[in-house]
Amino acid sequence: MPSSSTPAPTEPLLQIENLGVRLGGRQVLEGLDLSLESGVLCGLIGENGAGKTTLLRSILGLQRIASGTIRLAGGSVGKARDLVGYVPQKIAFDPQLPLRTRDLVELGLSGRHFGLPWRRRRYQAATKAALAAVGAEHFADQRLGRLSGGQQQRAVIAHALVREPRLLLLDEPLANLDFRSTTSLVQLLGTLVREHGLTVLVTAHDMNPLLPVLDRLVYLVGGRAATGTVDEVVRPDVLSGLYGYPVTVLRHHGRFLVLPDAPDGPGEMRHAGTELPPPSPREEA
């Protein structure tokens, strides 16, 4: 699977400096800095419209940036495209589509090649490895459109992995998944990082399901970001600065709930207490 060769230790895999993006006259991202080494799982957390997808598209080179730089393994975005795998949001396949999981994964390698569509042996070996990496062997020969959402998600991840990227971007992979699929997908992301040395950047509007595997966090509000470990970022002072108004951070059984400050109380970190109702684990934004 993905090559575990690491870049020079001084050189991060992904380096973003002072990134600014404007869309239709609106500043979608502003002054964003982010540096990711190999083998890091980073969450990109923010509400709808916070600029998460725009950031991913900028890293993919699909988005014109207004200011700043993005470097991948020391090179420019366009040249390093093969280093990046991308799992877009809401991929849904038509139930009648004559395409099996195996075919989609193989197309990750062969899809851009014109010529006689014979099966190549090297495609098959890589396809098999990618299917194994995401645990998709048992539905490899099923029609994509008849798989569950979680299985389709895994198929698309394998499609991205088969090109052996070093950085994997996932856009809201946990949206529309049930609890069990969410847990197993989060575990899968952890495995890809720990065992295959991949760097993963995953967007979510709720950070909680990702907490068990998260190394780093980018908290996006209105195009501006706070970056660091969970403990460094998910704090009332940091987030209040980001939101521009006081917020409270509730912590309960290792989960967080970020709320606008109650008018009568200060925005301070409170620890789990019996007086707090259990936070709803998957707050839909």
Partner 1 sequence: MFANYMLPTWIAASFLALAAGAIGYFTVIRRSVFAAHALPLSAFPGGAAAVLTGIDPMIGLLGFAFLGVVFVQQSSRLGPKDLAIGLLLSSFLALGALLLSLTGAYAPAVYALLFGEVLGIPHRELLPTAAVSLLVLAVTVLSFRPLLLQSAAADLATICGINRAGMEWLFLGLLAIVTATALPVVGTLLVFTLLVAPAAAAQRLSAHPARAFLISIALAELLVWSAIALSYWSNWPLGFFVGTLGAVLFVVLRGGGLLPSPSGIRARLSRRETSWHHGAGPNSGTRPDG
Q: 57 with 216: CB under 8 angstroms?
A: no
- The two beta strands, 14-23 and 167-170, are unpaired
The token duo for 145 is 């459109």
Residue 60 interacts with partner 1 (CB under 8 A): yes or no = yes
Please state, in angstroms and rounded to a whole number, the distance separating the CA atoms of residues 159 and 145: 15
The footprint of partner 1 on residues 216-275 (CB under 8 A) is: none
Nearer to partner 1, 80 or 249 (CB): 80
CB 146, min distance to partner 1, A: 6
Residue 5 interacts with partner 1 (CB under 8 A): yes or no = no
Candidate list 74, 75, 111, 265; residue touching partner 1; CB under 8 A: 111
Nearer to partner 1, 5 or 96 (CB): 96
- The two beta strands, 26-36 and 41-46, are unpaired
Nearer to partner 1, 44 or 257 (CB): 44
Candidate list 86, 131, 227, 258; residue touching partner 1; CB under 8 A: 86
Residue 142 interacts with partner 1 (CB under 8 A): yes or no = yes
Q: Long-range contacts: 191-197, Cβ < 8 Å, 24+?
A: 192/2, 192/133, 192/161, 192/168, 193/39, 193/40, 193/41, 194/39, 196/1, 196/2, 196/4, 196/133, 197/2, 197/3, 197/4, 197/6, 197/38, 197/39, 197/166
Candidate list 81, 128, 251, 255; residue touching partner 1; CB under 8 A: 81
Q: 247 with 261: CB under 8 angstroms?
A: yes
Beta strands in 113-173 (DSSP E): 167-170
Q: 148 with 181: CB under 8 angstroms?
A: yes
Candidate list 1, 66, 107, 238; residue touching partner 1; CB under 8 A: 107
Candidate list 18, 67, 69, 97; residue touching partner 1; CB under 8 A: 97
Residue 100 interacts with partner 1 (CB under 8 A): yes or no = yes
- The two beta strands, 84-87 and 167-170, are parallel
Residue 112 interacts with partner 1 (CB under 8 A): yes or no = yes
Candidate list 25, 98, 263, 277; residue touching partner 1; CB under 8 A: 98
Residues that bind partner 1 (CB under 8 A): 60, 62, 81, 86, 88, 91, 93-94, 96-100, 103-104, 107-108, 110-117, 141-143, 146, 156, 159-160
